[in-house]
Amino acid sequence: PAARTVLLTGAAGGLGTLMRGLLPEYGYELRLLDMVPVEGAPDAVTADLGDPADLGALREAVRGADAVLHLAGISQEASFDRILRANIQGVHHLYEAAREEGVRRIVFASSNHAVGFTPRPREGDPLVPVATPRRPDTFYGLSKCFGEDLAQLYWDRHGLETVSVRIGSCVPEPTDPRMLSTWLSPADAARLFHAALTAEGVGHTVVYGSSANTRVWWDLSSARALGYEPRDDAERYAEKVVAERGDLDDANPDHARLGGHFCTNPTMWPH
């Protein structure tokens, strides 16, 4: 059965803002939550998922929802303490609230950075499968591995379903050569989240989230099995991106792995 009332966490963020615009077309009624006020949405719940004092507000926000689209969290590398609170304690608080309120499904914004240290496939290599070993590239990526494992636990123990979406790069347009492989167009993101919210019998399913990019690095078959049919391809921007930023360079360590500069940039180790 199609989920109708969906709690959107992280509604004030980049992806949350895009989905607030796109998901109502699919028939969803969205409830919004973020730790900061959501512009133009006075009814949005303001709650910090990592703060035990906000558990009551979280439970109330979850009550009666058919599903949760869980986008809230720190979306870049940060200190372990910050990641622990927002992304690790935060995801646990959300799943507990959902379990207590009988919510049946969560779509979890995981990330390619859960497997970011995986070498990018070169010409002739197979696509990276969902079952590839986790190789987080940051504490941020590690928190996404935790979220995926928590989702598996809540499915096995409590029958709470999750689709964990290892999102590539969801921005209006690809702006560097890596994104010619990792791009998820906003319209395809809405298609993918809709499929993840409505497919039957998902248990805990892990999928990669990108558009039908000619240069894609990972296997989209588990996403397609949910009914996801991507329509966009970053190749449309390839000429422009390569002219402005150059192509992938085998000698550049930033281009060697799925996670790109998350694997190499010293600011991605802020300790």
C-alpha separations of 53 from 47, 49, 59, 93, 111 in Å: 9, 9, 12, 11, 28
- Under rule CB under 6 A, how many of the chain's residues touch ligand 15L? 7
Task: Give whichever of 182 and 198 is closer to ligand NAI, judged by the CB atom.
Answer: 182
Task: Give whichever of 5 and 214 is closer to ligand 15L, judged by the CB atom.
Answer: 214
Pick the piece of the chain touching ligand 15L (CB under 6 A) from 64-72, 109-117, 123-131, 200-208.
109-117
Binding of residue 6 to ligand NAI (CB under 6 A): no
Interface with ligand NAI in residues 74-103 (CB under 6 A): 74-75, 86, 90
- Which of ligand 15L, ligand NAI, none does 49 bind, CB closer than 5 to 8 A by kind? ligand NAI
Instruction: Report in angstroms how near the CB of residue 75 gets to ligand NAI at its nearest.
Output: 3
Instruction: Report in angstroms how near the CB of residue 181 gets to ligand 15L at its nearest.
Output: 10
Binding of residue 185 to ligand 15L (CB under 6 A): no
Task: Give whichever of 75 and 211 is closer to ligand 15L, judged by the CB atom.
Answer: 75
Task: Give whichever of 167 and 207 is closer to ligand NAI, judged by the CB atom.
Answer: 167
140 is catalytic: yes
- Sequence-distant (6+) residues with CB within 8 A of 143 are 73, 74, 83, 84, 87, 88, 91
- Which of ligand 15L, ligand NAI, none does 16 bind, CB closer than 5 to 8 A by kind? ligand NAI
Instruction: Report in angstroms how near the CB of residue 115 gets to ligand NAI at its nearest.
Output: 12
The answer to whether 259 and 112 have CB atoms below 8 angstroms apart is yes
How is residue 59 written in tokens? 């439970």
User: 89-92 contacts: CB < 8 A, separation 24 or more?
Assistant: 89/49, 89/50, 90/48, 90/49, 90/50, 91/49, 91/143, 91/146, 91/147, 91/150, 92/150
C-alpha separations of 190 from 21, 42, 69, 196, 243 in Å: 10, 23, 11, 10, 30
Binding of residue 116 to ligand NAI (CB under 6 A): no
Taking each continuous run of H as one helix and of E as one strand, the counts in the chain are 9, 7
C-alpha separations of 62 from 11, 34, 67 in Å: 14, 13, 8
Order the strands of the 204-209 sheet from edge to edge. 45-46, 29-34, 5-9, 67-70, 105-111, 161-167, 204-209
Among 182, 210, 211, 222, binds ligand 15L (CB under 6 A): 182
Instruction: Report in angstroms how near the CB of residue 175 gets to ligand 15L at its nearest.
Output: 10
Binding of residue 213 to ligand 15L (CB under 6 A): no
Interface with ligand NAI in residues 124-163 (CB under 6 A): none
Binding of residue 75 to ligand 15L (CB under 6 A): yes
Q: How far apart are the first and last CA of the chain?
A: 46
Which residues contact ligand 15L by CB under 6 A? 75-76, 111-113, 169, 182
Catalytic residue ranges: 140
